[in-house]
Structure 1
Amino acid sequence: MAQTEKIEQGRGFGKKRAKKSTSLGNKNLIPIPKGAKTSKKRVGQGPGSGLGKTSARGSKGQRARASSMKRGFEGGQMPLHKRLPKRGFTNIFKEEFQPVNLLALTKAGLSGEVTPAALKAKNLIKSETDLIKVLGTGEITAAITITADGFSESAKAKIEKAGGKVVIREKKKEEKKKA
């Protein structure tokens, strides 16, 4: 009898366990048992810490030191990042454009002259100074004059068909500092 009581008490999902209820019901919501979440133990040194002179690191050896090993160290064996072959390259001249679809322009209700500042105001782009490319997804009915750094062929054709105008923004060349 005493043994079955212990089993019932130790289960943790019994009748005594608190249940949380939400608008979604109790689906996938198991309350965290008391003592399951504890803060990380702060290890001190010396007799006052309760961990003695070695701070729970044992005595001597590599792992007892403050900076024991570098990340990726495999005990002297050639580490994985050096064993694997190098592949590809990174193009340092890559230009990343912020895409803006014609559908987004129509939804935003832009008309007349559309500048990068207007696109930024409608949250269609993140930055005015970065490169902007207008893409041809969607249709446009209003005649707009849009200024951007690039246009897809379909976007250019659709804008001009609607009576609009395409203006390519001039690139600002950074002057090299003379040393």
Structure 2
Amino acid sequence: MKLNKLTYTEGSRNHKEKRVGRGFGSGIGKTSTRGSKGQHSRKSGGTRLGFEGGQTPLYRRIPKVGFNNKNFETKYNTITLQTISNLDITNIDTKILFEKKIISNPKLPLKVIGNFQLKKPINISANKFTKGAIAALEKSKSKFTIL
């Protein structure tokens, strides 16, 4: 069997969609297959997502216990030393990185990561540096300031 040789069975694609509510003569007029009375016969007769027929829903039965540190985490703009080396700029800070569209939010603190070996010394000012980044910067005789 090949995908380009697949065909539909003769007559299988001629089924037309039923048009409900078009009078008694159509055979599906009046209640339009909805039955008489009741929640599902109404135009807005559905239920919301998670509704369990009046039973206390699962999201309310399960206890919400415990501490989640995500509410208190500090978000950073992260940049790698490899990205910095590709910029060919000697003085780097948050404003310059935002102007070059490397970081998206200049209000977040900047964190330099990576252990890429820089070819020439640079001046970087950031809020945090990883141990590998500090070692690589010291090896390349670069100046870095922690804000």
Q: Common fold, TM-score beyond 0.5?
A: yes
In structure 2, the CA distance between the partners of 1:82 and 1:143, relative to structure 1 (3 Å rule), is same
Instruction: Note if contact 1:99-1:134 (Cα within 8 Å) is conserved in structure 2.
Output: yes
Do structure 1's residue 60 and structure 2's residue 60 form an aligned pair? no
CA contact (8 A) 1:111 1:142 kept: no
Question: What residue identity is the alignment partner of 1:94?
Answer: E
Of 50, 72, 87, 1:72 maps to: 50
The alignment's TM-score, normalised by the length of structure 1, stands at 0.57
Query: Which aligned pairs between 1:30-179 and structure 2 lie closer than 5 A?
Result: 52=29, 54=31, 56-65=33-42, 66-91=44-69, 92-106=71-85, 108-169=86-147
Structure 1: gaps (5+ residues): 1-11, 16-32, 170-179
SS of residue in 2 equivalent to 1:134 = strand
Structure 2, unpaired ranges of 5+: none
Length-normalised TM-score, structure 2: 0.68
Partner SS for 1:167: strand
Asked if residue 13 in structure 1 is aligned to residue 3 in structure 2, the reply is no
CA shift in 2, pair 1:138/1:68, >3 Å:
same
**Measured at CA, do residues 129 and 55 of structure 1 come closer, stay the same or move farther in structure 2, by a change above 3 Å?**
farther
Q: Evaluate the alpha carbon distance shift between residue 84 and residue 144 of structure 1 in structure 2; reply closer, same or farther with a 3 A threshold.
A: same
**Shift in CA distance, 63/137, structure 1 to aligned 2, threshold 3 Å:** farther
Tell me, in whole angstroms, the C-alpha distance in 2 between the residues paired with 1:151 and 1:140: 15
* Cα-to-partner distance string for 1:44-67 (whole Å, 9 max, x where unaligned): x896xx875546532211222315
Report the residue type matching 1:131 in the other structure: P
Greater RCO, 1 or 2 (C-alpha within 8 Å, sep 6+): 2
In the TM superposition, what is the alpha-carbon distance from 1:138 to its structure 2 partner? 1.6
Percent identity, aligned pairs only? Answer: 34
Aligned-residue CA RMSD in angstroms?
A: 3.6
Tell me which amino acid in the other structure corresponds to 1:99.
T
Q: CA deviation at 1:142?
A: 1.7
Instruction: Tell me the number of residue pairs that the alignment of Structure 1 and Structure 2 aligns.
Output: 135
